[in-house]
């Protein structure tokens, strides 16, 4: 399992290093919890006060956990220090109702475990303070006196409907602050070390670790909370002994897998830290990319260039509007990483919750860093086309982000006027497109077909900018597919030497569309639909006969244009002159090349011309 080794190496390299992004690489034998109450004590265990915590204040509280408590779902398995009221409050039965109102077993299990830690050679002042205070069994009364907990005036019992940060008050989780060098116990590194050493000595079972090949204390209870603090799904699990886990291949779980507690903790904590730091969410799928050198991570999902980069998307003359300039800038952007190490690897991992309790690995790849960057260069070069950017009012060569491609292929116009796709469809197609980017696999043909189908139906879009985006994405993927198949139109821009029948018919459609639009009054632009768009779908199926309809209706608009019509007539004559009579009379459906012809010739008609948002 190479992914486990790579995650283990991440932990070993990052452990002890400062992070400046707010993320925390958890120590071994520690997890996180959302606390609702904070209790402050003096070093001698004297109660000082308590406060309620907001969701923001109490989230991601670092707590020590044992092997059992870190994986607890039911039963009595206390946390070593911070825990719920039912475990740590000795006077809980006096104020709580319900099934666990008699918490004597919970409290006994908690206080005995805490006592063993307190009396060990690895004790800590905060542990002694908490033990001395909780042994007095006055926590509930103190919290009520501080107005942290609410009681019913008539019964004197906890108010059942009261909650703290959305959690019923009887189920509140408590953390401790103890006066000393580091009062916040959840941030005290000396307390981390104290518990880690004590806990390792408490673990008795030693066996062969399949990951390291060494005899070490092993665990069969692996951590959850991998994607977030509420995540119950586990990557490694062997607790299903009803006939489904082993299927007769092994006698018991020890033969199936045996991993040391230390290795499991470090590997899971590293993955949790990476996801917290740079994970990307698609529905239930979480993607994370990292390098073996823990350096800057390449962007696998974005477009070739950032549309908000004014330096390259403005109207300045040096802005790239040619294929050569685009390639030069793209190479500079992809290979610009300052800490690029040619010997490093890049890991791509995607985890998804197959069920609420099981986490599956949907994708895992290990790639040479330099090889991956070359693949990125290849992808963004072969999928690039001339695109119109309304914010900057310019045409610029660029590729597409993965989300853009998926939205154009499967999205529908939403309430905000933009293309939206169901999360599960996005997730599925992200996994399909990633190998095309990282490994150079062929682009899925059904995705390209869907783009062509969507682009051939402009009347399905209320906002024409959405249709324009779909056409651009379709052309980028068609071009990519043609390059893969080593045939068809492969250029980014209009090729005056191209004689493909479908390509030339697409050029005619672009001219007819632009000519009619140019004849509109300002009040009609953005409201009326041209005949080219009205007959578009029919034109793609029966181009010869449909063109005659479009051409006849175009004459009226040519007359309206007056002398300006010469500009479009010259274009029509030029393209028509390249179509042999036999090809022009052929009424069979057009190939996807007609979209390339339409798109390419549009750039000829509007060379960086400022256009309206609805044009």
| pLDDT tens string 69-78 | 988 877 899 9
Q: What integer pLDDT is reported at residue 309 of this predicted model?
A: 66
Tell me which residue of 547, 549, 560 sits closest to 516, measured CA to CA. 560
Instruction: Report residue 598 as tokens.
Output: 């339409």
HSE-CB of 216 using CA atoms within 13 angstroms: 17
Instruction: Report residue 426 as tokens.
Output: 């996005």
Tell me which residue of 533, 398, 507 sits closest to 455, measured CA to CA. 533
Determine how β-strand 206-208 pairs with β-strand 83-84: unpaired
- Give the separation between CA 134 and CA 132, rounded to whole angstroms: 6
What residues form DSSP beta bridges with 176?
A: 39
Q: What Å distances lie between residue 510 and 262, 375, 467, 595, CA to CA?
A: 65, 34, 14, 9
- Give the separation between CA 206 and CA 515, rounded to whole angstroms: 81
3-state class of 315 per DSSP? coil
Tell me which residue of 257, 250, 189, 247 sits closest to 220, measured CA to CA. 257
CB neighbour list of residue 64: distance below 8 Å, 6 or more residues apart: 29, 30, 79, 80, 81, 82, 191, 192, 195, 199
Residue 237 CA, distance from chain mean position: 25
Do 238 and 189 contact (CB within 8 A), yes or no? Answer: no
CB count, 10 Å around CB of 480? 23
Q: What integer pLDDT is reported at residue 93 of this predicted model?
A: 95
Q: What integer pLDDT is reported at residue 320 of this predicted model?
A: 46
* Rg of the chain in Å (alpha carbons): 33
Q: What integer pLDDT is reported at residue 319 of this predicted model?
A: 44
CB count, 10 Å around CB of 2? 9
Q: Which residue has the tokens 């006060």?
A: 49
Q: What integer pLDDT is reported at residue 255 of this predicted model?
A: 73
Do 315 and 393 contact (CB within 8 A), yes or no? Answer: yes
Do 118 and 130 contact (CB within 8 A), yes or no? Answer: no
Do 399 and 304 contact (CB within 8 A), yes or no? Answer: yes
Q: What integer pLDDT is reported at residue 246 of this predicted model?
A: 54
Long-range contacts of 90-94 (CB under 8 A, 24+ apart): 90/134, 90/135, 90/136, 90/137, 90/138, 90/139, 91/137, 91/138, 91/139, 91/140, 91/141, 92/140, 94/140, 94/141
CB count, 10 Å around CB of 560? 15
Tell me which residue of 387, 390, 314 sits closest to 614, measured CA to CA. 390
Residue ranges of the chain with per-residue pLDDT less than 50? 316-320, 609-615
How would DSSP label each residue in 172-230? -EEEEEESSSS-BGGG-HHHHHHHHHHHHHH---EEE-TTT-SEEEEES-----SSSTT
- Give the separation between CA 252 and CA 578, rounded to whole angstroms: 75
Do 358 and 233 contact (CB within 8 A), yes or no? Answer: yes
């Amino acid at each position: 399992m190479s992914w486990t080794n790579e995650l283990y190496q991440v932990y070993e390299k990052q452990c002890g290093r400062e992070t400046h992004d707010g993320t925390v690489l958890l120590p071994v034998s520690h997890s996180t919890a959302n606390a609702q109450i904070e209790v402050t004590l003096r070093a001698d265990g004297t109660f000082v006060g308590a406060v309620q915590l907001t969701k923001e204040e109490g989230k991601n509280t670092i707590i020590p956990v044992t092997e059992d408590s870190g994986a607890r779902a039911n039963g009595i398995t206390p946390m070593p220090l911070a825990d719920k009221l039912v475990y740590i409050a000795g006077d809980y039965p006096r104020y709580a109702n319900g099934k666990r109102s008699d918490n004597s077993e919970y409290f006994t299990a908690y206080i005995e475990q805490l006592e063993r830690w307190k009396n060990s050679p690895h004790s800590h002042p905060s542990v002694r303070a908490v033990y001395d205070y909780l042994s007095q069994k006055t926590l509930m009364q103190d919290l009520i006196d501080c107005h942290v907990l609410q009681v019913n005036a008539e019964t004197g019992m906890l108010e059942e409907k009261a909650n703290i940060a959305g959690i019923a008050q009887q189920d509140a989780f408590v953390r401790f602050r103890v006066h000393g060098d580091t009062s916040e116990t959840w941030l005290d590194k000396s307390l981390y070390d104290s518990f880690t050493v004590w806990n390792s000595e408490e673990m008795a079972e030693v066996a062969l670790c399949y990951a390291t090949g060494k005899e070490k204390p092993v665990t069969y209870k692996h951590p959850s909370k991998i994607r977030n603090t509420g995540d119950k799904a586990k990557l490694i699990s062997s607790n299903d002994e009803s006939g489904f886990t082993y299927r007769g291949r092994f006698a018991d779980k020890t033969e199936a897998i045996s991993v040391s507690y230390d290795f499991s903790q470090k590997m899971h904590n590293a993955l949790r830290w990476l996801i917290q730091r740079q994970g990307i969410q698609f529905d239930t799928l979480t993607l994370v990319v990292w390098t073996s050198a823990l350096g800057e991570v390449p962007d696998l999902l974005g477009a070739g260039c950032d549309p908000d980069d004014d330096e390259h998307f403005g109207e300045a003359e040096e802005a790239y509007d040619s294929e050569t300039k685009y390639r030069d800038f793209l190479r500079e952007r992809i290979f610009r990483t300052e800490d690029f190490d040619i010997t490093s690897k890049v890991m791509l991992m995607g985890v998804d919750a197959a069920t609420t309790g099981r986490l599956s690995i949907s994708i895992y790849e290990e790639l040479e860093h330099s090889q991956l960057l070359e693949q990125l260069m290849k992808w963004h070069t072969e999928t690039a086309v001339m695109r119109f950017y309304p914010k900057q009012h310019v045409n610029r060569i660029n590729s597409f982000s993965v989300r853009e491609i998926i939205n154009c292929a499967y999205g529908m116009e939403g309430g905000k006027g933009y293309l939206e796709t169901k999360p599960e469809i996005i997730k599925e197609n992200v996994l399909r497109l990633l190998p095309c980017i990282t490994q150079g696999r062929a682009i899925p043909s059904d995705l390209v077909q869907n783009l062509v189908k969507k682009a051939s139906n402009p009347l399905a879009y209320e906002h024409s900018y959405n249709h324009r985006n779909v056409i651009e994405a379709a052309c980028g993927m068609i071009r990519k597919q043609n390059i893969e198949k080593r045939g068809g139109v492969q250029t980014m821009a209009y090729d005056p030497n191209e004689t493909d029948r479908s390509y030339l018919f697409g050029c005619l459609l672009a001219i007819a569309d632009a000519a009619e639009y140019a004849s509109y009054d300002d009040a009609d632009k953005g409201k009326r639909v041209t005949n080219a768009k009205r007959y578009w779908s029919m034109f793609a199926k029966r181009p010869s006969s449909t063109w005659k309809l479009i051409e006849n209706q175009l004459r009226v608009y040519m007359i309206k244009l007056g002398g300006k019509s010469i500009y479009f007539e010259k274009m029509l004559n030029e393209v028509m002159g390249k179509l042999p009579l036999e090809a022009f009379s052929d009424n069979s459906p057009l190939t996807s090349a007609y979209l390339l012809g339409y798109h390419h010739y549009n750039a000829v008609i509007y060379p960086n011309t400022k256009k309206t948002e609805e044009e």
